[in-house]
Amino acid sequence: MVKIGNIELGDFPLLLAPMEDVSDPPFRAVCKQNGADLMYTEFISSEGLIRDAAKSVQKLDVYDYERPIGIQIFGNEIESMREAAAIAEEAGPDILDINYGCPVNKVACKGAGAGILLDIPKMVSMTAEIVKRVNIPVTVKTRLGWNHETIKIVEVAERLQDVGIQAISIHARTRQQMYKGEADWSWLNLVKDNPRLHIPVFGNGDIDSPEKAAEYKAKYNVDGMMIGRASIGYPWIFNEIKHYLATGEKLTAPDLTERLAVTRKHLDFSIEWKGEKQGILEMRRHYTNYFRGMPNFKPFRTEMVTADTYEQVCEILNQVAELYADYEFQP
């Protein structure tokens, strides 16, 4: 049984990665219903929380059906991160996660996210202060290092454990790689082989199919996996991986009826949470994957990503249901 503090996650948990502009409550809802064992919010700016910025505060929304749920924060100032951690804890999550992995320039080049990998002592000090400030388990998501020459992930994981974190998720790329090239999970074996390390280690990067999940589970000694981009528009991946790991067989791909139902559910929640205009706008990134593989679908996708009202989107979905009623998706 994998545990974070007293939170039991099963024998090999699958985690939903925190993804900016993706891992919001509507998306988390459909992932939870399709097998995600632990989910994290989008990353939240510590400075935004301290200033009570509306966008940052809204990201604190968590719901009981999501549990266990973690709130993730990022920043480059230790005192600001301590204050933000306390604010996040008041929102009622089960876990507080620190983002030490975001590679984008506007974050990393300011010393936050993956930028702190250039200053490991500060990374350790910041983590220690956050652990002291809250009463819930603290976890970390990070990368292997800033670049290949600066990889110290074995040392980093141990030092973060020693100041109190209770799990670590490692995206097996460097900051320099961004999301390009192949993730190198061999480093995760080295982390797990450290006899002093006893916290759970979750692997992240390139898990996009049940077969790959099974291959990596057998090859690398991780305690679970974090799924990110492969879940966008395809929340079924969590249950598909679980089924394959348990039986060695692939589930039948979700049919059109199921895809339409989940798309509508996701859209309804998105509008309920953010209002019609913003809810429709933020759904646009998901349509391509919900209907991936359907022939001659581009005109419908174009209509969906330009539709401005709920009624327009629903009418397009009705047309899709009628025209592709006999289409069979391949697993």
Non-local (6+) Cβ contacts of 318 within 8 A are none
- Comparing CA positions, the residue from 88, 40, 35, 97 lying closest to residue 245 is 35
Catalytic residues: 102
User: Would you state the pLDDT for residue 6?
Assistant: 94
Kindly list the averaged pLDDT for each block of 10 residues, start to end, along the chain of length 331.
96 96 94 97 94 89 95 96 97 97 87 93 98 98 94 97 98 92 94 97 96 96 96 95 96 93 95 92 88 90 93 95 88 69
Mapping DSSP to helix (H, G, I), strand (E, B) and coil, where does residue 65 land? helix
- Provide the token pair at 161: 């454990």
How is residue 252 annotated by DSSP? P
Sign of CA dihedral 215, 219, 220, 223: positive
DSSP reduced 3-state for 16? strand
CA distance 262 to 65: 17
Contact 200, 170 (CB under 8 A): no
Q: Please, which residues bridge with residue 224 across strands? A: 202
Cα dihedral 321, 289, 22, 116, rounded to 10, equals 180
- Confidence (pLDDT) at 108: 87
pLDDT of residue 43: 94
* SS3 letters across 125-146: HHHHHHHHHCCCCEEEEEECCC
H or E element at residue 267: helix 256-274
Across the chain, how many H-helices and E-strands are there?
15, 10
Bridge partners (DSSP) listed for residue 20: none
Residue 21's pLDDT is: 86
Residue labelled with tokens 């998501």: 141
